[in-house]
Structure 1
Amino acid sequence: MKKINDDTVRWGVIGVGDVCEVKSAPAMQLLPDSELVAVMRRDEAKVKDYADRHGVSQWFTDADALIQSDSVNAIYIATPPHLHKDFVIKAAEAGKPVYVEKPMARTYAECLEMVHICEQANVPLYVAYYRRALPHFVKIKELIEEGVIGEIRHVQILLNQPLMTAVGDGAPQDNWRVNPALAGGGYFYDLASHQLDFLDYALGPISTASGAVANQAGAYAAEDMVVAHFQFESGVMGSGAWSFSAGEACDHTVIYGAKGSISYETFGAGKLVLSLPDQEDQFFEFDLPKHIQMPLIELINDDILGRGLSPSIGRSAMRTNKVMEDICGSPS
């Protein structure tokens, strides 16, 4: 069933910033039956500059004007999370499919409200957990479903990064990624959300989760250390540790089965390692697209045009917010 009365998805972007330079929005110009027709940012000089450099015909400094534009029939929300809910509601009220950046919102309650509003309006809601469509993650899911490593037993995640006090928009006080009021949490919400969402996709929903958090370096308000354990509905167990003030970087996830294991980096190249007893490790490597969200956006376009299904939607993405909230504790 088509989600729009058109044969072309004509995207309008709210919050056209860094993520739209290469990762996402250019794909909307390159895919068949897809156009990027309008962009919005409050800073007039910056939004005009983006439109000029990327060949976008319309630019706005007012989000409501873009949402209501007759030229736009689908909305991409690329703002920090604290603005997601209000813009999703406005897009739903305008009857336009909406694609929102991850994490889906600051809290699980905001996610629930977004999902309910979109369902009541009969408007599809998609979320930018694009690893669900990248080739090496698709391969991991295929190996699991084919039973190559047997029945899954447990998962281990380890992510260490050096202290980052000037990432994103500058110093900590200006960096929304480490401001819980804007992001819901810190880098855990920004990065672990990708890891937990993919595991939801590959292994099914997580039913219970708990953890402990700390601010060890004291460089900003958000947590910089998280440890967690969780269990999937299937009975698979999981654990994880995330440090964002470690001296040595590490990005390593292992999925253990009864017959072997799969290991990979979440934020590295398109590689994975299949380990089976009494066999040499098998290495798989895939080229990643220049515009990293392109495979997912293509699936979303197909969904909107009634010729496929998106693997990342509001109802799946809100589960990831729930897990992160259970690990870190409910927001005050």
Structure 2
Amino acid sequence: MNNTTINWGIIGCGDVAEVKSGPAFQKCKDSSLVAVMRRNGSLAKDFADRHQVPLWYDNADKLLKNPDINAVYIATPPSTHLDYALKALKSGKDVYLEKPMVLSDGEALQLKKAVNKSSQKLVVAHYRRFLPMYLKVRDLIDVNAIGTIKFVDLRFLQPFDFNSKASWRLDEEVSGGGYFHDIAPHQIDLMYHFCGDFKNAKGISVNQSNINQVDDTVNGIIDFQNGIQFRGMWSFAIPNCLQEDRCVIYGEHGTMEFSFYENLLLLNSRGHSRSFEFKNPINIQEPMIQETVNYFLGKRSNPCPVEDGELVTNIMEAFTKA
């Protein structure tokens, strides 16, 4: 094994790995995709054949026993994240773990303890941190473009069928509690990334539509340690005419406004307006995977440590488990 290259195995080569992440492991510098695993062996083989991956498995334990693999990407449904991550760490593999990191505060604490006791490394796949638009938001905050930030307003209102393929997300035992648990981790992580540590978080989670068995509406507030206030409203059963994807950061001299599924940033500062347009990479996780590879090789600090994943889990639980 070449210790200057991260040789990857993917556990869970489904829809997320198809375009968002999988090909990026072959594109990144000092990175190679060695094997993929899916419980359905024919689908694992199909993925491997189409993406020119040398090996495929229908059993994660077999992949973890491969001595040529020194890191794994876990892209299975959230209910299996903790188990696979613990096995991977025990097997001597570094871990790149999909969001939501785990299902609960208790699981987050268990994983953090395991990582801290291990000689292996773990990165949470909050990949939006390294996309061009959010890097620009971070830069504008750092140069005080809108002055001291006062509060943030987030509204993510979508019709029920906005992601109709993802039926497992409506099984609370598998997903943690519906579409909110799939979409919100990225958004909450960005709020932490922009605003810092939080002092308190509270929320209300309800099933307004009764279309299914999970809550479809979440209302949350965060009091950050630096005094910034956050309020967020998520709905996944809103009429089409009312759908909205909008986040506004309010500062003492103006605002920054963007949506999470468009690449347009609007800056209004001291009465002057500017707009910025961005283009994401085809494989949207590629920048984060490159930073993860660099971290695993000792070239940089952790781009998203388990502690950050735990913080996001804490906030989500505060919003939905009250």
Give the shorter-chain TM-score range.
over 0.9
**Deviations along 1:34-60, whole A, 9 cap, x unmatched?**
011000001011111111111000000
C-alpha separation in 1, matches of 2:193 and 2:141? 11
C-alpha separation in 1, matches of 2:163 and 2:267? 36
Give the C-alpha shift of residue 132 in structure 1. 0.6
Give the C-alpha shift of residue 166 in structure 1. 6.6
C-alpha separation in 2, matches of 1:77 and 1:179? 19
C-alpha separation in 2, matches of 1:50 and 1:274? 42
SS of alignment partner, residue 39 of structure 1: strand
Per the alignment, residue 31 of structure 1 pairs with 28
Per the alignment, residue 148 of structure 2 pairs with 151
TM-score normalised by structure 1 residue count: 0.94
C-alpha separation in 2, matches of 1:137 and 1:165? 23
- The verdict on how the C-alpha distance between 1:30 and 1:166 changes in structure 2, with shifts beyond 3 A counting, is closer
Per the alignment, residue 49 of structure 1 pairs with 46
Q: 2:265 aligns with which of 272, 275, 286?
A: 272
Residues 155 and 254 of structure 1 are in contact (CA less than 8 Å); yes or no, is this contact kept in structure 2? Answer: yes
Residues 106 and 183 of structure 1 are in contact (CA less than 8 Å); yes or no, is this contact kept in structure 2? Answer: yes
C-alpha separation in 1, matches of 2:135 and 2:62? 38
Aligned length: 320
Residues 85 and 114 of structure 1 are in contact (CA less than 8 Å); yes or no, is this contact kept in structure 2? Answer: yes
SS of alignment partner, residue 295 of structure 1: helix
Residues 220 and 233 of structure 2 are in contact (CA less than 8 Å); yes or no, is this contact kept in structure 1? Answer: yes
SS of alignment partner, residue 87 of structure 1: helix
C-alpha separation in 2, matches of 1:83 and 1:113? 14
- The verdict on how the C-alpha distance between 1:162 and 1:32 changes in structure 2, with shifts beyond 3 A counting, is same
Residues 296 and 310 of structure 1 are in contact (CA less than 8 Å); yes or no, is this contact kept in structure 2? Answer: no
C-alpha separation in 2, matches of 1:267 and 1:315? 26
Q: 2:90 aligns with which of 93, 99, 104?
A: 93
Per the alignment, residue 79 of structure 2 pairs with 82
Q: Supply the AA of the counterpart residue of 2:303.
A: P
**Deviations along 1:59-94, whole A, 9 cap, x unmatched?**
001101101111211010000110000111111111
Residue 229 of structure 2 corresponds to residue 237 of structure 1: yes
Aligned alpha-carbon RMSD (Å): 1.4
Per the alignment, residue 193 of structure 2 pairs with 201
Residues 36 and 48 of structure 2 are in contact (CA less than 8 Å); yes or no, is this contact kept in structure 1? Answer: yes
C-alpha separation in 2, matches of 1:5 and 1:315? 30
C-alpha separation in 1, matches of 2:2 and 2:108? 27
Residues 133 and 311 of structure 1 are in contact (CA less than 8 Å); yes or no, is this contact kept in structure 2? Answer: no
Give the C-alpha shift of residue 5 in structure 1. 7.2
C-alpha separation in 1, matches of 2:229 and 2:2? 45
TM-score normalised by structure 2 residue count: 0.96
Runs of 4+ more than 4 Å apart: none
Give the C-alpha shift of residue 220 in structure 1. 1.6
Residues 263 and 272 of structure 1 are in contact (CA less than 8 Å); yes or no, is this contact kept in structure 2? Answer: yes
Residue 257 of structure 2 corresponds to residue 263 of structure 1: yes
SS of alignment partner, residue 326 of structure 1: helix
**Deviations along 1:121-151, whole A, 9 cap, x unmatched?**
1211111110111011011011111111111
- The verdict on how the C-alpha distance between 1:201 and 1:228 changes in structure 2, with shifts beyond 3 A counting, is same
Per the alignment, residue 172 of structure 1 pairs with none
